[in-house]
Structure 1
């Protein structure tokens, strides 16, 4: 698996991941994070995604059949999911289904989350998109499936996004 992030540094890239960072993050979040997510974070701890559009079978508030997620947050730093997820859920009124995973271009009105509502905190979460209506809509059964579904934004260059 290649690293799906743009090269270079950014505030979205955290320090090299350690078992201690993972342990503390899971304690803070109250969930076990997906192994595939952790495997990726051990390779690069967050960053700006190269393939940043997720196809959907539903309309989003800004596109007919996809949403964009620019950043996948890592762990153990100021912009990590263990630091900001609870605050984002509270600030934006996201559903209490799990953990905010990434940052969309709108950076607040919509988001993408790990959803533990069906599996509980120890299970393998689904990935959901949360739009302005705050209804979580499943886009992947797992984090691994979510990452495999992402496509470059150029796929949608000709689409009228209507946002």
Structure 2
């Protein structure tokens, strides 16, 4: 597959190939029909970089699970952590339209409907990572933000786009976790 994004990114050891990841995250590769159907259901056009990554592997747990922040969050003073990235589909528990997907987080947990929730965090629903369309409209290039349910759904800016977010993920051992 010819990459339009992530050209200089090494995906070796990016995904965590555990049985949990296979069972709850990794969907079949999304075809154009599935992508259009999920976009229609969610009401947002998914970024091309996200679609490209999901055509490489459609969701899963990640080995580099931390992203640095300029301000403290409920997770840490200097970063957030994710568990996994949701794939494009409906079959797996943690997919965009799955049982605990983006719409569920808005409808059942009260998360703001200003984007698509793409990554869950180790807090079991108390914070999420979202593609935030509030500045660009439903067809634009969304920013990536951390949304903290415990702090009145406070948004913390992470990255200008999805590709920058993925490239910025770090190993947890790069942070002082004490």
Counterparts of residues 131-146 of structure 1 (less than 5 Å):
131=148, 132-133=150-151, 134-146=153-165
What TM-score results when the alignment is normalised by the length of structure 2? 0.84
* Alignment RMSD: 1.3
Counterpart in the other structure of 1:155: 174
1:86 maps to which of 103, 108, 123: 103
Q: Does structure 2 retain, via aligned residues, the 8 Å contact 1:14–1:45?
A: yes
> How far apart, in 2, do the equivalents of 1:112 and 1:75 lie?
15
Counterpart in the other structure of 2:4: none
Q: Structure 1 residue runs of 4+, over 3 Å off?
A: none
What TM-score results when the alignment is normalised by the length of structure 1? 0.92
Unaligned runs of 5+ in 1: none
Number of aligned residue pairs: give it: 159
- Give how far 1:20 is off: 1.2
Counterpart in the other structure of 2:36: 23
Instruction: Pick which of 120-129 and 94-103 moved more.
Output: 94-103
- Give how far 1:97 is off: 1.2
1:71 maps to which of 67, 76, 84: 84
Q: Does structure 1 retain, via aligned residues, the 8 Å contact 2:49–2:162?
A: yes
Unaligned runs of 5+ in 2: 1-8
